[in-house]
A and B are shown apart, each in its own frame.
Chain A
Amino acid sequence: RKEVEQDPGPFNVPEGATVAFNCTYSNSASQSFFWYRQDCRKEPKLLMSVYSSGNEDGRFTAQLNRASQYISLLIRDSKLSDSATYLCVVTANDYKLSFGAGTTVTVRA
């Protein structure tokens, strides 16, 4: 079983829509959680950390459910520029991050 699993999508949404997707992880000892964004054929970039109480960064909201071992990302008022692959990242220690294969979001005009 993969340590981090994501629905690959793609999620095709119109501009202005809300899109949400989850990521499940298998290691119950995981301590830190992140969402990275990766544009086509580019390097990943940190989108946001995910805190236990949930957190928002502008149009992006991340939630953590430790009991069910998943994290979620919700994007409100989608923009064309939100089209990307979103990587779920989980770690049980400071140095060895586990990346999911990514969820692709395509926002159409």
Chain B
Amino acid sequence: NAGVTQTPKFQVLKTGQSMTLQCAQDMNHEYMSWYRQDPGMGLRLIHYSVGAGITDQGEVPNGYNVSRSTTEDFPLRLLSAAPSQTSVYFCASSSFPPGQGRTGSYGYTFGSGTRLTVV
């Protein structure tokens, strides 16, 4: 049981390049999200999904696309990388809606992150 797997762990891109950050989970979680984390700021939601085929925008969606063709995979695409997208990206999944504080809920399970630098 690997949990949430993100690849790559590190990436350097040139401005204007595109790439896909991969995220896969093997826990059959319905709910998946992408966050970015910048120094001095909290994690900010980019996109999220409540199940296969269903995605929605978060707080900072511009410049990113997502799709959810399977329950397991939730890739994040950077369309044309910009230096402002330099950040640490976390993928997360949850069996319950992550905002529900149910007793026994494990909340989000996060991947180990992708450190992206755009030069």
Q: Does B99 contact A101, Cβ atoms closer than 8 Å?
A: no
What is the count of residue pairs linking A and B with beta-carbon distances less than 8 angstroms?
Answer: 71
Verify if B111 is at the interface (C-beta below 8 Å from A).
Answer: yes
Verify if A46 is at the interface (C-beta below 8 Å from B).
Answer: yes
* Stretch of B19-27, B39-47, B71-79 at the chain-chain interface: B39-47
Verify if A97 is at the interface (C-beta below 8 Å from B).
Answer: yes
Q: Does B42 contact A100, Cβ atoms closer than 8 Å?
A: yes
Q: Does B108 contact A46, Cβ atoms closer than 8 Å?
A: yes
Q: Kindly state the interface size class of chain B when it binds its partner.
A: 20 to 34
Instruction: Give chain B's interface secondary structure class.
Output: loop
* Binary flags per residue of B7-51, CB closer than 8 Å to A gives 1, else 0: 000000000000000000000000101010000111111001010
Interchain nearest-CB distance for A81 vs B (Å): 19
* Binary flags per residue of B91-119, CB closer than 8 Å to A gives 1, else 0: 00000011111110111101111000000
- Which B residues are within 8 Å of any A CB, using their own CB? 31, 33, 35, 40-45, 48, 50, 56, 58-59, 90, 97-103, 105-108, 110-113
